[in-house]
Chain A
Amino acid sequence: MAVNEKGILNRLYFIAGCMFVFGLAVLLKLFSIQYIQGDEYRALAEKRSVKYVTIPANRGNVYADDGSLLATSIPKYNIAIDAVTSKRKTFEEYIKPLCDSLSGYLSKSSSYYEKEIRKARLNKNQYYLLVKNITYTDYIRFRNFPLLKLGAISGGLIVEQTTKREFPMGSIARRTIGYEHIDKKGNVTRPGIDGAFGVKYLRGTDGLRKKQKIGNNKWKPLTDFNQVEPKDGFDVYTTIDVNIQDIAHHALWEQLDKYKADHGCVVVMETKTGEVKAISNLGRNSKGLYYERLNYAVGESHEPGSTFKLMALAAALEDKVIDTSDVVDTEKGRLTFYGKHVEDSNHRGYGKISVSEAFELSSNTGIVKAIHQAYKKKPSKFVDRLYDMNLDDSLDLSIIGEPNPIIPDPRIKNGRWSGIALPWMAFGYGVSFTPLQTLTFYNAVANGGEMVKPKFLKEVKEFDKVIKPYEKEVINKQICSKETIAKLRQLLRNVVDKKHGTGHKLYSKNFSMAGKTGTCQKDYRDKEKLNYISSFAGYFPADNPKYSCIVVIHEPDREIGYYGADVSGPVFKKIAQKIFIDTPLIDEINSLDVKVPAIEEEYETFYKTARTYKTIMPNVIGLPAMDALALLENMDVEVKVKLNGNGVITAQSVNKNEKLKNNQTVVLNAS
């Protein structure tokens, strides 16, 4: 083969030309990326390397009325270990001391941890969870454990911070205080106060910070300020009184447990303001334990039964179609309307009794007969009167889930009205109210006729600044005349005070209560499933009510008992008693001149005698020696009194009505 220079050079020029073209192609492609695809990639650059990171706002706290914390957010830490990242030498050196420290903190043995961590290292596990949800203090402790102390790269420490909602009161009033729960699918559950005010006040607004990517999962802030500053949530001050809440919760728990009831609720309301001081809702889980399951007080509407007799009588009294002294015949305990029976719980009736007694005895026949007779010609009048007392209005609460009350109306064709609607309404069937709706009416009676809306919130604050105060809201200034109110209050008082009253078991001579029992049948259409709702609604003290309270317990075990007075009454009494004991006694003394009638009388006699007898000897026998002396020595004539003994005068030397002379000596014997 003959190779000459020329041949080489020619081929070289060819190759070099090819490479030059290659270079040109690179250049061309460069231009095409820059100018044809440029915008697309530049947009990608922004998307891939810049992101907005949310800075979560701190959620506001929920406080009780005295400033006790009910709900707050605190940071919690999860600690894990990257079992791979540490060097073999470091790992071997510190693994034992680390596991010793771990077993000192956690319950398992040191060798257990060593085994697990070694296994994780063998399996190249870069995330072995050591502990979850620990506090900041514990996190600091963990950070100083051997190996973990070396940090993320050399030691493999992995720290994740989360924010947890804590409830210092435990499960008490959980449904009412509320929380925000977001499940994996993104569905949000927000019960209670948190649900009502969480989004508006507690949550705050998250901040945003623009960050640029600098390597694997490392982002640096692009600016030295936040694009959107986070705004912390406001604090919400509720009306809940932790002490009353505590009693209510435990008293309810005890009764539920005693009667093996399905669920129940209790609400305590301050009469004047409508502030809900305690609200407890307990339901039973499958294991038979009770917990704050649903907000029954706000959300569960049911037929009230006998507690509604108060509303029925209120209407009738206000319409002046019945008076408490009217006599009704209870007809051996059974009334029949269109083939349906109204029966008394004793199955034999009470003979002829007054309306007042019918209420106190909770005689179904008595009340039904009275109401039926009064309104049978114009039942809509009865319904209208109920409307006038705002009984058909929902309370429009901030806590969601409140159903509207149900009152049958002959003018509204919704299938609720029938021939028996009026008599059945009279004893609380066919109508439906939530416990809180019933309580609101009772509270209005306690409050002299002024119906106030139950309120859960006192105010919303940002530090010390009040953002929104919640004032007392009046639903109806006067639901009925003062006269009617007075009668109703007497009735309610009698239920507890009178020996025959259904609530007499609650009677205490130390403090006064007033209220109405309710033992309502539930699921009565099927005898098999028949159950009871035992309730008690009322207020205390009976004379000058401070708090009203309702207790509703569903499905107590019939074997153990189901009467409202037995099942629900004790909860009511316990709360009343506790509040009575806890309230410092304030006795007001109007004047320092205490007037004891006996002393008063004595004084009167003395005074009278002193005025009458100036010179004539009065009768001092029976008077205290001191008084006798004073009497005689203050007379217009000067007498010398000689007293033998002390105490009450038994004999006087000068007879009554004898004229006395100056310097005359009177001898008195006392003993």
Chain B
Amino acid sequence: MSERTDGMQTVFKNIKGDRLIWAIVALLAIASFLPVYSAASDLAYDKYNGNTFISFVKHFMHLFLGFVIMYGVHKIPYRYFRGLSLVTIPIVLVLLVVTMLQGTVVGGASASRWIKIPIVGMSFQTSALASVVLMVYVARYMSKMKDTNITLKKSILPLWLPVFLVLALILPSNFSTTAIIFSMVIFLVFLGGYPVRYLVVILGSGLLALVFFVMFAKLTTGPLHVKVTTWENRIKNYSNSKDTEADYQIEKAKVAIASGRVFGVGPGKSIQKHALPQSSSDFIFAIIIEEYGLIGGFIILTLYMWLLFRIVIVSQKSDTIFGKLLVLGVGVPIVFQALINMAVAVELFPVTGQTLPLISSGGTSIWMTCLAIGIILSVSAKREEIKEQEIKEDNPLEILSETI
């Protein structure tokens, strides 16, 4: 090692873990300012008397807090997360119930996704926290079971009950998040070696539960009914060619993408941001392409793919099964969500309302992503600790995989 890298080492002496992940996250965070700031100008025009700086400061505060969370979490040895997940699952369930009972209704549909944090006065999307906690919980269970022969019966109570409870509490207000969490859990238990035949059963019962829920909701006449009808319409719209509100959003997104061409129209010059209702969160990818062109979109996509690659590396390097599953359990959903968001913008996927992690504005999304990254970093930091203790053997392969 040269002196220079030693000097760098002292600057970041407190920052542990995979430095490339740190770098990717920092790059994404920096990149997020431009489109969020630009897309928010329309919002500012309506809400903040034309003061775009407010949304800029807000976003900065969100990111700053996110980095604080990330830094704090990555300092925690990851083995503690086993116990923490056990403790937090009931808390999350309570929070979800509270959220649901708050019963916010937006446009006649049930939209109780948010909980108001007392004193601070900020809104918090409980399902995002639930997602991270649940993944840690599942990783813990799967690693605990690594040496036993798992059966469906045995796993129902400790694994699937909490999973379905969480999902059932999120479903009425947010179908897409439920679906994503469910598929991520399936993915994680699949990685953990859960027998595929049981997975089919679980998947089937999940679908059945959904059908029951929809049928039940249809019988009611409240906001739940409206919500279910909205889902139906969205899925119908995706498959048919009738012009609807969702089609309108997609069309705007595509117009934005098409107007961006290769180099984009330039920072802040997006026109479609005025037309797209969720320009600073759900459809931010379209705005990025409009303003920064295919190049900008490609860079963002690459950053996420690179993050995925680093997550795989960290997981690969982790010495414990829990470490491996934990990294994948919290890391892959980030990339998965990012891909879903982009897929919506390019009309590969029906409109869902998933944010682009780290780039979209919105506190909860940023903080939970940072929490997840913190966990990943904690796992990779642990590995580094172990590595430091080991004899410094200059295995060229080792160095290569560390630096890519």
Contacts and interface: CB of A to CB of B under 8 A. Distances in A.
A8 B254 CA distance: 39
A212 B42 CA distance: 13
A29 B348 contact: yes
A89 interface: no
Given A3-B321, A214-B42, A41 B259 contact: yes
B304 interface: yes
A30 B148 contact: no
Given A25-B348, A45-B271, A3 B187 contact: no
B321 A49 contact: no
A598 interface: no
B308 A26 contact: no
Contact of B332 (A13, A19, A27, A213): A19
A235 B181 CA distance: 73
B231 interface: no
A37 to B, nearest CB: 7
A33 B42 contact: no
B147 A41 contact: no
A33 B321 contact: no
Contacts of A38: 258, 261
Interface in B319-364: 321, 324-325, 328, 332, 335-336, 339, 342-343, 346-348
Interface stretch (B9-17, B100-108, B293-301): B293-301
A1 interface: yes
A102 to B, nearest CB: 29
A641 to B, nearest CB: 113
A58 B339 CA distance: 56
Nearest to A42: B258
A5 interface: yes
Interface string B188-228: 00111111000000000000000000000000000000000
Contacts of B147: 1-3
A1 B272 contact: no
Contact of B258 (A2, A33, A213, A214): A33
A8 B259 contact: no
Nearest to B151: A1
B324 A5 contact: yes
B65 interface: no
B34 interface: no
Interface in B237-278: 251-252, 254-262, 271-272, 274-275
B174 interface: no
A22 B187 CA distance: 15
Q: How large is the interface on A (under 10, 10 to 19, 20 to 34, 35 or more residues)?
A: 35 or more
A212 B273 CA distance: 12
A212 to B, nearest CB: 7
A93 to B, nearest CB: 21
Contacts of A218: 45, 274
Interface in B12-62: 42, 45-46
B116 interface: no
A170 interface: no
B125 interface: no
A169 interface: no
Contact of B289 (A13, A30, A48): A30
A44 interface: yes
Contacts of B339: 19, 22-23, 26
A31 B191 CA distance: 33
Contact of A44 (B150, B251, B301, B347): B251
A361 B399 CA distance: 132
B308 A16 contact: yes
B261 A34 contact: yes
A186 interface: no
Interface in A187-241: 212-215, 218
A20 B305 contact: yes
A7 interface: yes
B146 interface: yes
B150 A1 contact: yes
Contact of B255 (A22, A27, A42): A42
B231 to A, nearest CB: 23
Chain B CB within 10 A, most for which of A29, A40, A213, A218? A29
B400 to A, nearest CB: 18
A49 B191 contact: no
Contacts of B261: 34, 38
B149 interface: yes
A649 to B, nearest CB: 111
B316 interface: yes
Contacts of B257: 30, 33-34, 41
B192 A8 contact: yes
A12 B289 contact: no
B321 A213 contact: no
Given A3-B146, A3-B192, A41 B258 contact: yes
A509 interface: no
A11 interface: yes
Nearest to A38: B258
A7 to B, nearest CB: 6
A458 B339 CA distance: 76
A49 B255 CA distance: 10
B312 interface: yes
B145 interface: yes
A40 B191 CA distance: 44
A45 B315 contact: no
A547 B10 CA distance: 110
Contact of A213 (B145, B149, B274, B297): B274
Contacts of B347: 29, 33
Contacts of B304: 23
Contact of A49 (B260, B271, B316, B346): B271
Given A2-B193, A26-B343, A215-B274, 20 more contacts: A1-B146, A1-B193, A1-B194, A8-B191, A9-B316, A12-B312, A12-B315, A26-B339, A27-B298, A29-B343, A30-B294, A33-B258, A34-B262, A41-B251, A44-B251, A44-B255, A48-B255, A49-B272, A49-B275, A212-B271
Interface of A: 1-3, 5, 7-9, 11-13, 15-16, 19-20, 22-23, 25-27, 29-31, 33-34, 37-42, 44-45, 48-49, 212-215, 218
A-B pairs, 7 with minimum CB distance: A41-B258, A29-B346, A3-B193, A3-B146, A215-B274, A1-B150, A45-B255
9 contacts: A1-B146, A1-B149, A3-B192, A3-B193, A26-B301, A26-B348, A30-B294, A37-B258, A45-B256
